[in-house]
Copies of this chain bind each other. A is one copy, B any other.
Amino acid sequence: MIRISKKVEYALMALKFISNSDHKLVTAREISDNNNIPYDLLSKILQKLKNENILSSNQGMNGGYFLSKRTDEIPLYNLMSAIDGDTVIVECLSEHPMKDCCLEDTCSIKSPVTKLQKEVEELFKRKTISDFV
């Protein structure tokens, strides 16, 4: 099944919320309360977005998060890989596969699946956060 993780959904809501609070610092607590997102989980997500330079943060009292870039400069693809890591449609196309595919070179569908992978990837690279805010 092709599915976007709950975490990515939460990230999209958070980015929308931050984007709408233009230029103010926004705390994880505010985002959590206003969007009905579990606080601890959200914190992890925001941290990952920070590590990928999608968000910036100020620590300490009166701290919070703000966008590092314009929303149209953040492809959905980057958001997804920041949060969930790999964005491959099949294990064997991962750069760091957990286990070797037992089919290896004999796999009969590797080439068309790779092509499909590219097309899915392009779709998610074309979409940016601005499409969601």
The chain A residues found within 8 Å of chain B, CB to CB, are 1-5, 9, 12-13, 16-17, 35-36, 76, 80, 84-91, 102-103, 106-109, 112-113, 115-116, 119-120, 123-124, 127, 131-132
Contacts and interface: CB of A to CB of B under 8 A. Distances in A.
B17 A108 contact: yes
B132 A123 contact: no
Given A9-B109, A113-B132, 12 more contacts: A1-B5, A1-B80, A1-B85, A2-B80, A2-B89, A2-B124, A3-B89, A3-B90, A4-B90, A13-B109, A17-B108, A35-B108
Contacts of A80: 1-2
A6 to B, nearest CB: 8
Contact of A3 (B36, B88, B102, B106): B88
Given A1-B85, A85-B1, A131-B112, A9 B123 contact: no
A84 B120 contact: no
B5 A109 contact: no
Contacts of A127: 116
Nearest to A84: B1
Top 7 nearest A-B pairs (CB, nearest first) are A112-B132, A1-B84, A4-B89, A12-B109, A16-B108, A13-B108, A112-B131
23 contacts: A1-B3, A1-B80, A1-B84, A1-B85, A1-B87, A2-B3, A2-B87, A2-B124, A3-B89, A9-B90, A9-B109, A12-B109, A12-B113, A13-B107, A13-B108, A16-B109, A17-B108, A35-B103, A36-B102, A36-B103, A112-B131, A116-B131, A123-B123
